[in-house]
């Protein structure tokens, strides 16, 4: 391991970043970061600060705009200390049929939700990098089944759900 390798002696990345002076903040979108249940507190408890509200959730048609607006406010409050900002973008989680004017979640509505989210994430990146560089990592945490082998949704052990999609 070379001297340029980022190392820390901590049980997880967030604690390790804290050892290096970072503040960590989570902008939750799904209910598993809502603190409404014991499970909904596990992820938020790992961060120095966490933010969640119903307007950040996927049933809200403008959820990503709300999340990005809030993320920019959080970033503005942390200009003197490095910040690790985690955003769980909920727009691509079901339901997302409203992005196509339908009540059914499909591949088409998933693509429409992603296009909607991308427009706001582009604004986030533009604003964050206006005055200083940021390392930005965009990734999915699961896929969705839209009728493959008769399955729909994401809370199942199906290859379409377990394999994180990567557009080629």
What distance in Å separates the CA atoms of residue 152 and residue 160, rounded to the nearest whole number? 10
Q: What is the pLDDT of residue 45?
A: 95
Contacts of 13 (CB under 8 A, 6+ apart): none
Higher pLDDT, 56 or 167: 56
Mean pLDDT of 67-94: 91
What distance in Å separates the CA atoms of residue 79 and residue 88, rounded to the nearest whole number? 22
pTM more than 0.85: yes
φ/ψ of 138, rounded to 5, equals -110, 125
Choose among 133, 124, 155, 152: nearest CA to 142: 155
Tens-digit pLDDT profile for residues 99-145 = 898 888 888 988 899 999 999 999 999 999 998 888 888 877 777 88
Q: What is the pLDDT of residue 92?
A: 86
Dihedral sign, Cα of residue 126, residue 74, residue 69, residue 95: positive
Mean of the per-residue pLDDT values of the chain: 89
Contact indicator for 42, 50 with CB cutoff of 8 Å: no
pLDDT band at 167 (very low <50, low <70, confident <90, very high): low
Q: What is the pLDDT of residue 63?
A: 94
Q: Is 145 helix (H, G, I), strand (E, B) or coil?
A: strand
pLDDT of 168 over the 60 cut: no
Please give the structure tokens belonging to residue 113.
């939700």
Q: What is the pLDDT of residue 94?
A: 82
Which contacts of 108-116 are long-range, i.e. CB under 8 A and separated by 24 or more positions? 110/144, 110/146, 113/58, 116/64, 116/91
pLDDT band at 88 (very low <50, low <70, confident <90, very high): very high
């Amino acid at each position: 391991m070379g001297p340029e390798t980022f190392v820390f002696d901590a049980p997880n990345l967030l604690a390790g970043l804290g050892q290096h002076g970072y503040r960590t903040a989570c902008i939750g979108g799904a209910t598993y970061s809502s603190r409404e249940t014991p499970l909904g507190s596990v992820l938020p408890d790992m961060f120095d600060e966490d933010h969640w509200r119903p307007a950040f959730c996927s049933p809200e048609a403008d959820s990503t705009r709300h999340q990005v607006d809030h993320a920019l406010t959080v970033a503005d409050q942390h200009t003197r200390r490095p910040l690790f900002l985690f955003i769980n973008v909920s727009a691509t989680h079901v339901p997302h049929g409203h992005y196509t004017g339908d009540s059914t979640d499909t591949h088409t509505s998933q693509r429409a939700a992603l296009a909607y989210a991308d427009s706001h994430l582009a604004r986030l990146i533009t604003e964050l990098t206006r005055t200083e560089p940021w390392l930005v990592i965009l990734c999915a945490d699961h896929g969705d089944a839209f009728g493959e082998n008769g399955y729909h949704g994401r809370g199942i052990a199906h290859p379409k759900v377990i394999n994180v999609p990567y557009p080629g």
